[in-house]
């Protein structure tokens, strides 16, 4: 069902906002998909929500998140959200970091490229209000900014002096840590600074925000003993170093539950806070409100809204079980015998779920429409990392069988997800999980020595392919050494396109030939 509102009707709607918001005010803004990162505009009348894996996203069901907009109605209810369109959205994760105090600038948690495709660079960007919509985002440079995680979450103060965010990057203590960048006198941003061990743990710290004065930090973590997988905590900054914090305090059961609470953001002048929770939902995040008192809805008149705006009503299917049973066996790749192994399912917003196999196999229930990393480990075998992209409500069961290679001299392991920029030695961010798996394997087997092998397809000049493959081997070796592996345990050689494992006649098979492998030389 579609509704079309004229700007005049919206004008009357906004002026009649006399009642106070309630918990039910946000019911209509929740869809049958995963709601993330709700942000209210400075005038209090527009809500910007990131919705993951919606079929109307720019990238369809595979899209990790697009920005959708909900508006406040005359009954102080948020309307069903409408897709914000291709200006603010592309095929990557899109979300709002915040607004300038006057609402004329919107800050976005991503860089944007040309032609509607995500840029290769990372960081934040800025869009300007024209009165009739938002301008094409302008990328903002942050020195040494890199995020290995699939999702960036963060917040920028309305005075634009501080950007605080969660990422897996240089100096992270485990996976995602919280970092801060501050605006310098010349208008540029400082390089990211880790908030330190009081805030960050070896586990995940996500979705940070700040109080208006920048002194109180709110964030979610699964690294403390909370009520559920992720709880919201607060901490007070003790000085201007951004590394001296009070011991984080759990916000308690008024906010936190046995579910997953994320994206807590206070609106102090209005007397409420927004966050997302999986409690009493269908397994995905719903937008929720915490009211600390009677919130005052501002009565300023918003900028004109184009009369082509469309509100799409998306009913929530509350009774559906949005989970998939994943089952199967783990076997020895050489003998076919069953193996007792540990299997770990994890995603950007799902704390790690593990299952152990027996000779009869394993089974686990996981939320559907998620993209998972699946790690399989067993003593005496080489761990492996697989991807699982479900992206459907209809699937109820999925069989996944795994074969593990035994640790022995001569075993060759194809590192399928070690990927580089085309024609370069620059590692793509999706390479790091598998590289870290190799690091873990070498650390748990300190007597093992390996030989790396780099391969390309047969396109181009053979001599240049040989040189490129050798340089990529050295890049991988440097990464392993930087993580504490001794140089003498790793040798390597580039083979160019001389050792294909598939045809070079199509791009799909050429992709198989562009690979990095390692062979166990001593055990």
- The predicted-structure confidence for 441-477, as pLDDT tens digits, reads as follows 999 899 999 999 999 988 889 999 999 999 999 999 9
User: The domain 321-406 belongs to what CATH superfamily?
Assistant: Immunoglobulins (2.60.40.10)
Q: What is the pLDDT of residues 178-204, one digit of tens each?
A: 999 999 998 899 999 999 999 998 888
Q: What is the pLDDT of residues 357-408, one digit of tens each?
A: 877 888 888 876 667 888 899 999 999 988 887 755 556 788 889 999 999 9
Identify the CATH assignment for 408-523 out of 2.40.50.100, 3.30.1330.60, 3.30.450.70, 3.40.449.10.
Answer: 3.30.1330.60
Share of the chain above pLDDT 90, in %: 41
Domain positions in the chain: 1-140+294-318, 144-256, 321-406, 408-523
Share of the chain above pLDDT 70, in %: 82
Determine if the pTM surpasses 0.85.
Answer: no
How far is it, in rounded angstroms, from Cα 260 to Cα 245?
24
**DSSP, residue by residue, 52-119:** ES-TTSTTGGG-S-EEEEEEB-TTS-BPPPEE--TTT--SS---EEEE-TTSSEEEESS-B-GGGPBP
How far is it, in rounded angstroms, from Cα 159 to Cα 273?
20
Task: Give residue 346's pLDDT band: very low, low, confident or very high (50, 70, 90).
Answer: confident
Look up residue 159 and give its two tokens.
């005075």
Residue 299 has pLDDT above 60, yes or no: no
Three-class secondary structure assignment of 232-294: EEEEEECCCCCCCECCCEECCCCCCCCCEEEEEEEEHHHCEEEEEECCCCCCCCEEEEEECCC
Task: Give residue 120's pLDDT band: very low, low, confident or very high (50, 70, 90).
Answer: low
């Amino acid at each position: 069902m579609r509704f079309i509102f004229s700007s005049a009707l919206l004008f009357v709607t906004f002026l009649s906002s006399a009642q106070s918001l309630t918990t039910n005010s946000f019911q209509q803004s929740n869809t049958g998909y995963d709601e993330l990162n709700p942000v209210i505009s400075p005038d209090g009348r527009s809500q910007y929500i990131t919705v993951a894996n919606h079929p109307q996203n720019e990238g369809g069901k595979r899209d990790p998140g697009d920005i959708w907009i909900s508006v406040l109605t005359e009954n102080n209810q948020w309307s069903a959200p409408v897709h914000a369109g291709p200006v603010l959205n592309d095929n990557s994760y899109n979300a709002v970091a915040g607004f300038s105090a006057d609402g004329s600038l919107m800050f976005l948690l991503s860089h944007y490229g040309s032609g509607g495709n995500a840029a290769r660079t990372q960081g934040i960007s800025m869009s300007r209000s024209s009165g009739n919509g938002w301008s094409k985002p302008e990328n903002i440079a942050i020195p040494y900014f890199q995020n290995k995680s699939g999702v960036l979450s963060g917040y920028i103060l309305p005075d634009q002096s501080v950007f605080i965010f969660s990422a897996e990057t240089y100096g992270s203590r485990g996976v995602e840590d919280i970092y801060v960048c501050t605006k310098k006198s010349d208008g540029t941003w400082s390089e990211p600074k880790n908030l330190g061990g009081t805030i960050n743990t070896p586990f995940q710290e996500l979705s940070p925000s700040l109080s208006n004065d920048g002194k109180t930090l709110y964030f979610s973590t699964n690294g403390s003993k909370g009520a559920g997988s992720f709880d919201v905590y607060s901490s007070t900054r003790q000085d201007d170093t951004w590394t001296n914090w009070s011991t984080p305090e759990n916000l308690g059961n008024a906010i936190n539950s046995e579910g997953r609470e994320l994206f807590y953001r206070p609106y102090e002048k209005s007397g409420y806070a927004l966050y997302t929770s999986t409690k009493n939902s269908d397994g995905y995040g719903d937008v929720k409100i915490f009211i600390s008192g009677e919130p005052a809805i501002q009565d300023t008149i918003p900028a004109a809204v184009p009369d082509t705006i469309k509100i799409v009503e998306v009913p929530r299917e509350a009774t559906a079980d949005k989970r998939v049973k994943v089952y199967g066996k783990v076997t020895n790749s050489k003998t076919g015998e069953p193996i007792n192994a540990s299997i770990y399912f994890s995603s950007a917003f799902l704390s790690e779920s593990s299952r152990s196999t027996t000779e009869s196999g394993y089974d686990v229930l996981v939320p559907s429409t998620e993209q998972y990393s699946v790690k399989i480990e067993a003593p005496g075998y080489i761990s492996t990392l697989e991807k699982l992209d479900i992206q459907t409500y209809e699937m109820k069961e999925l069989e996944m069988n795994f074969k593990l290679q035994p640790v022995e001299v001569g075993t060759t392991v194809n590192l399928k997800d070690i990927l580089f920029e085309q024609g370069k030695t620059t590692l793509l961010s999706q390479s790091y999980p598998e590289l870290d798996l190799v690091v873990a394997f070498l650390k748990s087997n300190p007597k093992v020595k390996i030989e790396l092998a780099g391969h390309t397809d047969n396109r181009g000049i053979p001599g240049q392919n040989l040189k490129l493959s050798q340089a990529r081997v050295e890049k991988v070796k440097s990464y392993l050494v930087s993580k504490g592996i001794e140089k003498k345990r790793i040798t390597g050689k580039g083979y160019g396109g001389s050792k294909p494992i598939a045809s070079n006649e199509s791009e799909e098979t050429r992709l198989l030939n562009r690979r990095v492998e390692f062979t166990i030389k001593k055990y």
